[in-house]
Each structure stands twice: as structure tokens, then as C-alpha cells.
Amino acid sequence: MKKILYVLDKLALILLALIFVFPFVWMVSTSFKSLQEVLIFPPKWIPDKLMFQNFVKAWSSGPFVTYFINSVLVSVSILALQFATMVPAAYAFARYKFKGYKLVFGITIAALMIPPQITFLPVYLQMSAWSALKTHIPLIIPFGASAFGIFLLRQSFMQVPDEIIEAAKLDDASEWKIMWNIMVPMARPVFITFGLFSFIYHWNDYFWPLVMTNSEAIRTLPIGIAMLKDAEGGINWNIVMAGNMILVAPILLVFFFARRQIIKAFVYSGIK
Amino acid sequence: MIRLSKLKPYVMVAPALSFFLMFFIYPIFYMIRLSVTSWNFISPQKEFIGFNNYIELFTSEEFYQVLYNTLIYTVLTVGFSLVLAVLLALWLNKQGTLYNIVQGAIFSPYIISLVSVALLWLWMMDPQYGLLNVVLELMGLPKSLWLTHPNTALFSLVIVGVWKVLGYNTLIVMAGLQSIPKDIYEAAELDESNKWTTFYKITLPMLSPTIFFLLIVSTISSFQVFDTVQVMTQGGPINSTNMLVYYIFQYGFDFFKIGYASAAGVVLLVIVGIMTIFHFMFLSKHVYYR
């Protein structure tokens, strides 16, 4: 009886994993098929001939080099700005009691609560008024500070023992030096965690770039991939899935190698 | 004279604060102001029309349909993804290579771009050639029209939403399980408490802060569903999957009714705000904190 339960448990586990893995296998399979093969029902899992040209076709159906460069530029710039703004803010929240602390902290909490899906329209209009819509500014600047990042980092700054800071002060280290040479290196795990979180989030983001861009020159990969669906009448699923692979593969590959770190980055926010 | 060192913390928070003020706080007020105008984006004047946009919203059948869709989507997505997450967490909370692999597998959709997920499921839900109808056929069930029929379209989006977020929820619940002290279970064992009683009297109450956290986060994020609607259905068929954020998007960017769209935005803001407060005030009373 115990043995049967053991086997059943393992079988159920594998079935569960398959439910989550099969869609990706199906994507890979489709991306290598010819259009005729895509339309065979019931479907084949392994195509007769691997159509590598699907990828070339997907990639050359639009300015994908530009999309790719934009994606890198946007996610990296956001991350750099966020790091630059979160270090001093988190330091101030962790180490100072100042007048208006509650108000400033309250605004930060509000920023954490208000999602971009609520503010997109007014921000878009503002960007339009500044004639910034044809630039990368609307994709980057609104995310220049991350309330979530500030909270994480503040938490870690508060855990630095007072003795270390006192010792540094005795050595005549300036506030600036304490922040950058002592606190920041000690918070390295938080930077890695937050960095992964932020990069993956903005690399994947579809909503904001869709809303804020109306010229190909500043569009990012997710927009380009989604547009494959509407290109040429009728959906060429093999091409769309080949494009999808271009977007999914890098993240899945990174996930495969840095699974623990990435899960930690995303789950961290949930554990108090 | 003000001592320079007193200014330090202000200088430190100033950069982050200015971003928050400019892109979160100010836009909210700007949106509220726009919601009482009849602006069409082109005319130079923003004419004040009072609460007319709100009256129009709440007398529009289409808007009630959108609210109803959003609500059903949220209740179903949050409900399924939470209940399943608790069950899965209890099951998967063990050591072992296979368990690790499965945990990774169910988490993987969470880090994939929602647009990829949407495209992938759009293809799987293709009524003619999609994978899901093959599965249904194998199980001897009738084929479904999935996204192309008003009766099944919204539920199809729920499936995608649950599939995407389930792994995240499960891992959060697992983290909650791991923080429950072992001696409580040992005491329960000494009392010869059966499995169900132990779950109901110990595990569930001890998990309540975690479940409470997930409830807030997933409710608020479900209310903002957009990507799957935009990629998979564009609100159709016959408005059966149109939801709040998409509705705002449509009225703002397709119909240029900025005032009206802003009013709908204010409604979304109020709903998200009320839910946050509601959760904190009422639900937290029933949550057991250690």
C-alpha cells in the first residue's frame, strides 16, 4: 500500500510538472514547423523537418535589432537610475529621524500601492505635453525610483550593526563614505535580488511600452513580438512562436541556471 | 542659520521623492481633474462638465458589463490560484530533487513575459488546431470554442491568469509553512490530533498572514489585468472579456474621450483603494499574527 502511494505521488508530481512545461514544449515544437504542419490535426510533436528559417523570418519581419537594443537600453537604464535613487533614500529612511519623515515615507508607500495601470493615462498626457513621446524618456523616467527597492534596501541597511558605523565614525569616515564603502557592500545580496527582479520585470513589460510608444524606433521586444500576430493576414503560428522563443528563451535560460536566486528575488517581497 | 547636516536626509530622499511625486502622486490629481472635463485630446480647452462623465459611466450598460467582467475574473482567478496554491504547497513542501524540479516548473510561467504567455495560450486555445482541444478530445470531452465564444472567453482568461501566478503563490505559501514552528505539530501529535484537525486548527490559522498577504496582492493585480485581454481577445467577443484597464485604454487611445477614460480611471483607483483598506481593516482582525 505504501509503495503504491509512493509511486502515485511521483506520477502525480510528474503530471503536475508537465502541465506547466508542456506549453513551452508546444511552443518550441511549433516554432520549428512548416505552416502546413502547424495545421495538422491532431498535431505532431516532432516536425518532419526543422524549419530554422522561421526564426529568420520572425526576426526580419520588423526592425528587431532596434527592438532588442531598445529593450536592453530601457531595462538597464531603469536599473541604473533605480540604484542611484534608492541607495540614498534607503539610507535616509534607515538612519535618520527627520521632520516630515512620516509624510515622505507615506508618499513612498503610496507609490508602492499605485500601479502603472492606474496612472498611465495622465502620465501619457504629461509626456505628450512635454513632446517626449518619440523618445525613450516615457519608457525609462517614470520608473526612475522604485519604492519596493527602497523598502528592501532600507530593511538591509537597518540590520547593519551600530558598532560598525560607530567604529567608522571614530576613523573619521564621512557619511558619504559610510554609505558607499560600508553599507552598500554589505547589502550586496539585496542589490542582486532587486536587480534580477527589476530587470526581468522591465524586460518582460508589455503594457507600459505599448501605451507609451507610437513609433517603431523606440519600441521594445515584447511589442515587436506581439505585432507578429497581426502581421500578414491570418496568423502564422510557426512564425509567431519562433518570435516568442526569441523573447522567452533568454529568461528561461537564465532561470535554468540561477533558479534559486531568481525565485528568491520574486518571493522575497512576500516574506516578512 | 540652519545647520547643513540637518538638510542631509532631505537631500538624500529628494531624488526618489521627486520621481514619486511626478509619476505617481501628481498624475492621480491630474487624472481626477481631467475626469470632470470633456477633453478630447485635440481641442485646446479642457471644458469643465462636473460629474457628467461619472453619470455617463454609471448609466452605461457597457461599463457595468466591464465592471462585472473584472469582478468575476478577479474572484475566479484569486479563488482558484489561492486554494490550489495552498493544496500544492502542502503537497510540494518536501525535500528532494523531484520536488525541486516541480517547484521550478510551476514557477517558470511567473517570470515569462505576459505577452509571451498570452500568445502561447492563444495558440493552445485555437478552436481548430489548438492543443487544448486535442486534450479534450483525448479525454472524450467535446471541443471548446475557448476565446471565441462569449460564454467561455472570460473563463479562458482565468485559466491563463491562474497558470501564470500559481507557482508564485505556491512558493509564498510554502515559505509560510516553513515558518510555522515544529513544536506546535509535535504537541498536536501528542494530543493525537488527526490530520484534518491539525490542518484546520494549526496550519490554516498559522498560514493566515501569508494567505492574507496573497489575497491583497492578487486581488489588486487581478483588477489590473490588461496584457491577456489586449493580446488574446481585445475585449471580445461581444464585450465578454472587456475589463477595466482595457476599457480605460480603449476610451483614452481609440476614442480619445480623455475625460470619460479618466473618470473610469478614478473608479479603478477608488476600487483598488477601498480593497486595500477593506483588507487591512476587516480581514486583519481574523488573521492570527504571532
Which tens digit of pLDDT belongs to each residue from B146-155?
Answer: 999 999 999 9
d(Cα A110, Cα B225) in Å, to the nearest integer? 20
Is there a cis peptide before residue B142, judged by omega within 30 degrees of 0? no
pLDDT of residue A207: 96
- Note whether B98 contacts A144, CB cutoff 8 Å: no
What's the pLDDT band for A271 if we cut at 50, 70, 90?
A: very low
Residues in B 93-122 with any Cβ partner in A closer than 8 A: 98-99, 101-116, 119-122
Q: What total number of domains does chain B contain?
A: 1
What percentage of chain A has pLDDT greater than the value 70? 97
Q: B109: which chain A residues are within 8 Å (Cβ-Cβ)?
A: 20, 23
pLDDT of residue B242: 96
User: pLDDT for A217-226, tens place per residue?
Assistant: 999 999 999 9
Of B71, B73, B52, whose CA–CA distance to B274 is shortest?
B71
**Which candidate in B2, B4, B8, B24 is best for mutational testing of the A interface (most A CBs within 10 A)?**
B24
Note whether ipTM > 0.85 here: yes
pLDDT at B190 over 90: no
Asked if B262 and A121 count as a contact pair (C-beta separation under 8 A), the reply is yes
Helix (H, G, I), strand (E, B) or coil at A81: helix
Higher pLDDT, A41 or B179: B179
Domain assignment present for residue B234? The answer is: yes
Q: A226: which chain B residues are within 8 Å (Cβ-Cβ)?
A: 115, 119, 231
**Shortest CB distance from B20 goes to which of A141, A145, A206?**
A145
Give the chain B residue whose CA is nearest to the CA of A247: B116
The pLDDT mean for chain A works out to 90
d(Cα B85, Cα B211) in Å, to the nearest integer? 10
User: pLDDT for B17-30, tens place per residue?
Assistant: 999 999 999 999 99
The three three-digit cell numbers of residue A249, written as one number: 528563451
Domain assignment present for residue B28? The answer is: no
Residue A39 CA, chain-centre distance (Å), reads 34
The three three-digit cell numbers of residue B181, written as one number: 514552528
Of B239, B76, B245, B244, whose CA–CA distance to B150 is shortest?
B239
pLDDT of residue A260: 86
Asked if B35 and B263 count as a contact pair (C-beta separation under 8 A), the reply is yes
Of B22, B27, B37, whose CA–CA distance to B263 is shortest?
B37
Domain assignment present for residue B37? The answer is: no
What's the pLDDT band for B290 if we cut at 50, 70, 90?
A: very low
**Shortest CB distance from A30 goes to which of B16, B123, B249?**
B123
pLDDT at B285 over 80: no
Q: A102: which chain B residues are within 8 Å (Cβ-Cβ)?
A: none
pLDDT at B283 over 60: no
pLDDT of residue A272: 40
d(Cα B271, Cα B248) in Å, to the nearest integer? 14
d(Cα A139, Cα A210) in Å, to the nearest integer? 10
d(Cα B173, Cα B187) in Å, to the nearest integer? 22
A55: exposed, middle or buried (C-beta count within 10 Å: 0-12, 13-18, 19+)? Answer: middle
pLDDT of residue B41: 78
Mean predicted confidence (pLDDT) in A148-168: 89
- Note whether B113 contacts A205, CB cutoff 8 Å: yes
* DSSP notation for chain B: ---HHHHHHHHHHHHHHHHHIIIIIHHHHHHHHHTTB---SSSS---B-TTHHHHHHHT-HHHHHHHHHHHHHHHHHHHHHHHHHHHHHHHH-S-SHHHHHHHHHHHHHHHS-HHHHHHHHHHHT-TTT-HHHHHHHHTTPPP--GGGSHHHHHHHHHHHHHHHHHHHHHHHHHHHHHTS-HHHHHHHHHTT--HHHHIIIIIHHHHHHHHHHHHHHHHHHHTT--HHIIIIITT-STTTT--HHHHHHIIIIIS--HHHHHHHHHHHHHHHHHHHHHHHHTGGGG----
Positive/negative CA dihedral, B121, B123, B127, B132? negative
pLDDT of residue B40: 81
d(Cα B31, Cα B264) in Å, to the nearest integer? 10
Q: B115: which chain A residues are within 8 Å (Cβ-Cβ)?
A: 204, 206, 222, 225-226, 247
User: pLDDT for B3-14, tens place per residue?
Assistant: 667 888 999 999
Domain assignment present for residue B212? The answer is: yes
pLDDT at B289 over 70: no
What's the pLDDT band for B288 if we cut at 50, 70, 90?
A: low
Phi then psi for B48, rounded to 5 degrees? Answer: -75, 125
Q: What is the CATH number of the domain that holds B194?
A: 1.10.3720.10
pLDDT of residue A267: 81
d(Cα B54, Cα B267) in Å, to the nearest integer? 9
How far apart are the CA of B191 and the nearest CA of chain A, in angstroms? Answer: 25
User: pLDDT for A93-139, tens place per residue?
Assistant: 998 899 999 999 999 988 888 889 999 999 999 999 999 999 999 99
Positive/negative CA dihedral, B269, B272, B277, B280? negative
Residues B9, B15, B19: CA angle, nearest 5 degrees = 135
- Note whether A125 contacts B34, CB cutoff 8 Å: yes
Of A213, A230, A206, whose CA–CA distance to B246 is shortest?
A206
d(Cα B232, Cα B130) in Å, to the nearest integer? 14
Structural domain boundaries enclosing B245? 61-286
**Which candidate in B12, B29, B221, B258 is best for mutational testing of the A interface (most A CBs within 10 A)?**
B12
**Shortest CB distance from B20 goes to which of A43, A108, A251?**
A108
d(Cα B262, Cα B248) in Å, to the nearest integer? 7
Domain assignment present for residue B160? The answer is: yes
Is there a cis peptide before residue A42, judged by omega within 30 degrees of 0? yes
What's the pLDDT band for B188 if we cut at 50, 70, 90?
A: confident
User: pLDDT for B76-135, tens place per residue?
Assistant: 999 999 999 999 999 999 888 899 999 999 999 999 999 999 999 999 999 988 899 999
Mean predicted confidence (pLDDT) in B183-204: 86
Phi-psi region of A247 (alpha: psi -120 to 50; beta: other; left: phi over 0): alpha
User: pLDDT for A75-87, tens place per residue?
Assistant: 999 999 999 999 9
B40: exposed, middle or buried (C-beta count within 10 Å: 0-12, 13-18, 19+)? Answer: middle
What's the pLDDT band for A74 if we cut at 50, 70, 90?
A: very high
Domain assignment present for residue B213? The answer is: yes
pLDDT at A161 over 60: yes
What's the pLDDT band for A211 if we cut at 50, 70, 90?
A: very high
d(Cα B147, Cα B144) in Å, to the nearest integer? 9
What's the pLDDT band for B282 if we cut at 50, 70, 90?
A: low
Domain assignment present for residue B267? The answer is: yes
pTM over 0.90: yes
Positive/negative CA dihedral, B75, B76, B77, B81? positive
Domain assignment present for residue B39? The answer is: no
The pLDDT mean for chain B works out to 90
What's the pLDDT band for B279 if we cut at 50, 70, 90?
A: low
What percentage of chain A has pLDDT greater than the value 90? 61
d(Cα B67, Cα B71) in Å, to the nearest integer? 6
pLDDT at B280 over 50: yes
How far apart are the CA of A269 and the nearest CA of chain B, in angstroms? Answer: 9
User: pLDDT for B38-90, tens place per residue?
Assistant: 988 777 788 899 899 999 999 999 999 999 999 999 999 999 999 999 999 99
How many beta-carbon pairs under 8 angstroms link A with B?
242
How far apart are the CA of A180 and the nearest CA of chain B, in angstroms? Answer: 13
- Note whether A92 contacts B13, CB cutoff 8 Å: yes
How far apart are the CA of B52 and the nearest CA of chain A, in angstroms? Answer: 19
pLDDT of residue B2: 58
Residues B13, B17, B23: CA angle, nearest 5 degrees = 160
